[in-house]
């Protein structure tokens, strides 16, 4: 997700709306929204330039404080030119922003990276072009790959449907999908990122998880030997959860990225969502070249603190091989304690815990 996708979305918007520049866009509502087609078209331009400003300006606490206006007498052709121009500026901002840079966006974790901003910009263009086209009675459908990319980057909590574009319209309250209830309220979700002294725990999105599962790098630059097999397996489990519609992005998999060089050294994450008692399992691995330096302990402690501060988590547990002394030391240094004999017996009997594993627990 990047500048090429923004360009494609903006070009598609201009192509479909150019056929209706001679009509009065102020007199027609844009589909199901309450704005006129003219107001909605200008909103696309506002979003694109605001996202460009936040990303280029590295805004951290709020949107960059400025607004754009149209000159008096600007016609629909001029408005389309504004959309194309703000789109070009946004594309330039996305392409020139280094990996890992995050800027302010209010929902849900108050920041997004360059790929997240690109996805939000594409979403705004696709969805509002649809609104305008619906109001004006024009045919519009973006490319399947573009709609799918928006779903995988911004709607990881939405189960994939039979086709990407109808699924995206349904997920944003703009259409129906067989077998699913209508959507009346919705939000997209950027990935969660947690920072420690030396690491950035970067939430892996469904598209990246699928790439990792298939042998790719997931969009990360790894140290030699990475990613490790455990990270690929975890990415596979996460992909299955996404496809089944049970994935919650905050309880997914995180890449452990070193601050000093932006390279990934391992993976860490949850084995699902908390159960009805607030219990959730956590696991991790490191590339061999990163072991013995305290990275796993640092990341595990940060992720545990974040999870246990939530109302829906009361206990974390980790299962460690009986002969894996280094991993046992990691969980101990991260505040986990060995489960009691009775707790381990219950885990073995009721939850199919392998008898070769030891159970470690950290409570809120």
3-state helix, strand, coil in the chain (%, to 5): 45, 15, 40
**Residue 180 maps to a domain:** no
When pLDDT is averaged across residues 93-104 and rounded to a whole number, the result is 94
CATH number, domain at 344?
A: 3.40.630.30
**Residue 149 maps to a domain:** yes
Report how many domains make up the chain: 2
Higher pLDDT, 354 or 19: 19
The pLDDT of residue 346 is: 76
Same domain, 29 and 163: yes
Same domain, 9 and 153: yes
Phi (first) and psi of residue 204, to 5 degrees: -90, 130
Domain boundary among 140, 171, 202: 171
**Residue 217 maps to a domain:** yes
Same domain, 203 and 161: no
The pLDDT of residue 341 is: 83
Residues 211 and 152 sit within 8 Å (Cβ to Cβ): no
**Residue 51 maps to a domain:** yes
When pLDDT is averaged across residues 248-261 and rounded to a whole number, the result is 94
* Domain range for 9: 3-171
Pair type for strands 337-338 and 357-363: antiparallel
Same domain, 346 and 244: yes
| Rounded-to-integer distance, Cα 2 and Cα 95, Å | 7
Same domain, 207 and 95: no
Pair type for strands 337-338 and 315-321: unpaired
**Residue 142 maps to a domain:** yes
pLDDT (tens digit per residue) in 42-63: 999 999 999 999 999 999 999 9
| Rounded-to-integer distance, Cα 100 and Cα 288, Å | 23
Same domain, 55 and 203: no
Question: Above 70 in pLDDT, residue 351?
Answer: no
Same domain, 344 and 259: yes
> pLDDT class for 350, splitting at 50, 70, 90?
low
pLDDT (tens digit per residue) in 279-325: 999 999 999 999 999 999 999 999 999 999 999 999 999 988 888 88
> pLDDT class for 32, splitting at 50, 70, 90?
confident
CATH number, domain at 107?
A: 1.20.120
- Show the CA angle centred on residue 208, arms to residues 243 and 293, nearest 5°: 125
Helix (H) or strand (E) run with residue 257 in it: strand 253-258
Same domain, 211 and 351: yes
Residues 46 and 124 sit within 8 Å (Cβ to Cβ): no
**Residue 183 maps to a domain:** no
Domain boundary among 171, 206, 236: 171
Whether this model's pTM surpasses 0.85: yes
Same domain, 9 and 79: yes
Residues 142 and 122 sit within 8 Å (Cβ to Cβ): no
Question: Above 90 in pLDDT, residue 356?
Answer: no
Same domain, 245 and 155: no
**Residue 105 maps to a domain:** yes
> pLDDT class for 342, splitting at 50, 70, 90?
confident
Residues 84 and 49 sit within 8 Å (Cβ to Cβ): no
Same domain, 134 and 19: yes
Question: Above 90 in pLDDT, residue 364?
Answer: no
The pLDDT of residue 269 is: 93
User: Could you give the C-alpha distances from 281 to 69, 268, 271, 325, in angstroms and in order?
Assistant: 51, 11, 5, 19
| Rounded-to-integer distance, Cα 58 and Cα 43, Å | 22
**Residue 94 maps to a domain:** yes
Q: Which alpha helices (H) appear in the chain, and where do they start and end?
A: 3-17, 37-56, 76-96, 114-136, 144-154, 164-171, 206-213, 229-244, 295-308, 325-333, 341-350
Same domain, 354 and 234: yes
When pLDDT is averaged across residues 227-249 and rounded to a whole number, the result is 92
């Amino acid at each position: 997700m990047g500048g090429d996708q923004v360009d494609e979305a903006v070009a598609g918007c201009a192509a479909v709306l150019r056929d209706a520049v001679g009509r009065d866009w102020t007199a027609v509502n844009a589909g199901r929204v309450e704005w006129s087609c003219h107001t909605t078209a200008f909103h696309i331009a506002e979003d694109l330039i605001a996202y460009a400003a936040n990303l280029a300006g590295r805004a951290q606490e709020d949107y960059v404080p400025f607004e754009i206006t149209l000159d008096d007498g600007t016609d629909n052709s001029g408005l389309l030119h504004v959309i194309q121009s703000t789109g070009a500026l946004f594309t330039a901002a996305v392409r020139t922003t280094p990996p890992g840079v995050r800027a302010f966006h209010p929902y849900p974790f108050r920041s997004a990276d360059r790929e997240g901003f690109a996805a939000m910009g594409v979403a705004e263009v696709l969805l509002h072009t649809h609104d305008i086209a619906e109001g004006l009675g024009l045919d519009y459908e973006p490319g399947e790959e573009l709609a799918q990319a928006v779903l995988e980057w911004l709607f990881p909590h939405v189960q994939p449907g039979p086709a990407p574009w109808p699924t995206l319209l349904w997920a944003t309250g703009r259409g129906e999908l067989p077998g699913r209830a209508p959507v009346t309220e919705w939000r997209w979700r950027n990935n969660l990122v947690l920072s420690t002294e030396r690491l950035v725990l970067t939430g892996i999105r469904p598209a990246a998880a699928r790439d990792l599962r298939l042998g790719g790098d997931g969009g990360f630059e790894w140290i030699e030997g990475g990613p490790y097999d455990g990270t690929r397996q975890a990415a596979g489990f996460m992909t299955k959860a996404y496809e089944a519609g049970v994935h919650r992005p905050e309880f997914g998999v995180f890449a452990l990225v070193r601050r000093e060089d932006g390279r990934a050294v391992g993976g860490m994450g949850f084995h699902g969502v908390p159960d009805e008692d607030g219990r959730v399992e956590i696991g991790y691995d490191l590339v061999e070249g990163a072991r013995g330096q305290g990275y796993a302990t640092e990341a595990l402690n940060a992720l545990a603190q974040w999870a246990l501060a939530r109302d829906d988590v009361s206990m974390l547990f980790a299962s460690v091989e009986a002969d894996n002394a280094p991993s046992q030391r990691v969980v101990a240094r991260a505040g986990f304690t060995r489960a009691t004999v009775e707790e381990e017996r219950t885990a073995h009997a009721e939850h199919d815990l392998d008898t070769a594993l030891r159970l470690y627990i950290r409570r809120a």
